Amino acid sequence: MDAISVIRTKRDRGELTPEQIDWVIDAYTRGEVAHEQMSSLAMAIFLNGMNRQEIARWTAAMIASGERMDFSSLARPTADKHSTGGVGDKITLPLAPLVAACGAAVPQLSGRGLGHTGGTLDKLESIPGWRAHLTNAEMLDVLRTVGSVICAAGDGLAPADKKLYALRDVTGTVESIPLIASSIMSKKIAEGTGSLVLDVKVGSGAFMKNLDDARELASTMVGLGTDHGVRTVALLTDMATPLGRTAGNALEVRESVEVLAGGGPQDVIDLTLALAREMLDAAGLPDADPAKALADGSAMDHWRRMITAQGGDPDAALPVAREQHTVTASASGVLTSLDAYAVGLAAWRLGAGRARKEDPVQAGAGIELHAKPGDQVTAGQPLLTLHTDTPEKFDYALAALDGGVEIGPSDAPFAARPVVLERIG
C-alpha cells in the first residue's frame, strides 16, 4: 500500500477497498502518511463522496485506531448528545447538567471550533481554571460523583479522528457527509455511551444547508450507531438564524448560565428541553421531567458541581473583550433575516474562532444579538454588538455581515421556523 495509490483511487471516483481504508487510517495515525497526503485524500472524498460500505469501514478503522471506553460500572444509564455545529450553539452547556439532574450519566466528549462554528471546549475554557483534558479515570470519577462531564477526547480515543478533525478545519473539507458522519460516530462509539442523540443542524449557519443533505447525514449516523449497538436518534434543527442571542465563547457561557438560572432565550430553552427528553427516553428514563429540573435549580446545582470538578470556578467573572462596536438598524420595520453564517463568520473574524489548528481563540470575542427575526426595530436601534480584543478586525467582521441583515416594512409577513424540524431514528 502507498498513499498515492489510495489518493488516486478516490480522485478518479473509485471505491476504496477495506484494505486501503484500514491501511491509510493506520498509516496516517502512525505518521507514515503525511498531512499533505491526507489533505489530498480528504479533498478527494469531499469532491467524490463515499458509499455506505466505505463510510462504515472508515468509521470502524478510526475506532480501531485507539481504545474503547467502558461505563458499565456506573449505576446510571449513559446518554450523550452531539451537534453537527452551528452558530450560537451553546446547548451542550446547560444540557449535560440538566440530563444528569434527571438521573442519567452524560459522558460528553466535545471538540474545538470548526470554521465559522463555535467549539464547546473553547467556550468552557473561558471559565477561569476549567480543564478540558481529563484522564479516563478522572472522567469516570466525575461521572460517578456529579453525573455529567464535558471534556476533550483523550489521546487514546480514536486518535486517527483527532488528527483528521484538525486537518479538515484548515483544508476546506469540513462540509463532507462521509467525513462528518465517520468523525462524529467513531468518537461516540469508542466513547462507550449506551445511547446517543444527534442534533443535526440545517440552514445557512450549518454544514448541511438543506433538509435533504441533513436527512442523509442523520440517517447515515443513526445507521452507524445502531450497527454498533448504540441506541441512536437524530433531530434536525434550524440553523438559518443563530441560536440564542450570543455567538462567541465567554458570551455563550454567560447565556448558558442564564438558561440554567431559569431565564435565557426561548429558542435555547426549547431546544435544550427537546434534546433532554430524547436523551432521557433513549436512556430508559422517559418519566423524568427536565423542565422541572430546570425550574427547581437542580440543573444549576449540577452545573456548578461539574465546573468545580474540572477545576473551574463557577463564580468567577468571565472574560470581557477590550473593544466593542455596535451595528444599528438602517431603517425602521421588521427584522426579516439575520443570517447565521454571516454572524458566525463575523464572530470568527473577531477572534472567536481559529484559522489554523494551532491558533488561539479570544475568550471575550464574539457577537451579541439585540434583535431576532420577527422583531420590530427602529432606525438607529442597536442590532448587534461586536466584541474583540483586536479592534483592527472590526472592518473585516463588518464585511462578513454585509447582506446578512434584512429589514422589511413593519407589516411584512413573517413566519417563524420551529427550532426542531424533524426526527429521525
DSSP category for residue 169: H
Is 26 part of the annotated catalytic residue set? Answer: no
Largest CA distance in the chain: 65
Q: What does the block give as the cell for 380?
A: 438607529
Catalytic residue from among 57, 82, 112, 245: 82
Q: Are strands 323-328 and 231-238 parallel, antiparallel or unpaired?
A: unpaired
Residues with Cβ < 8 Å from 331, sequence gap 6 or more? Answer: 379, 407
Is 22 part of the annotated catalytic residue set? Answer: no
Is 183 part of the annotated catalytic residue set? Answer: yes
Is 82 part of the annotated catalytic residue set? Answer: yes
Say how far apart CA 64 and CA 6 lie, in whole Å: 19
Catalytic residue from among 183, 186, 195, 204: 183
CB 104 within 8 A of CB 97: no
Question: Which residue type does 328 have?
Answer: T
Catalytic residue from among 162, 168, 231, 354: 168
Catalytic residue from among 116, 187, 231, 277: 187
406 bridge partner residues? 337
Q: Which is nearest to 249 in space by CA: 128, 146, 139?
A: 128
CB 65 within 8 A of CB 28: no
CA dihedral of 201, 202, 207, 210, whole degrees rounded to 10: 150
Say how far apart CA 182 and CA 224 lie, in whole Å: 8
Say how far apart CA 146 and CA 91 lie, in whole Å: 19
**Residues designated catalytic:** 82, 161, 168, 183, 187
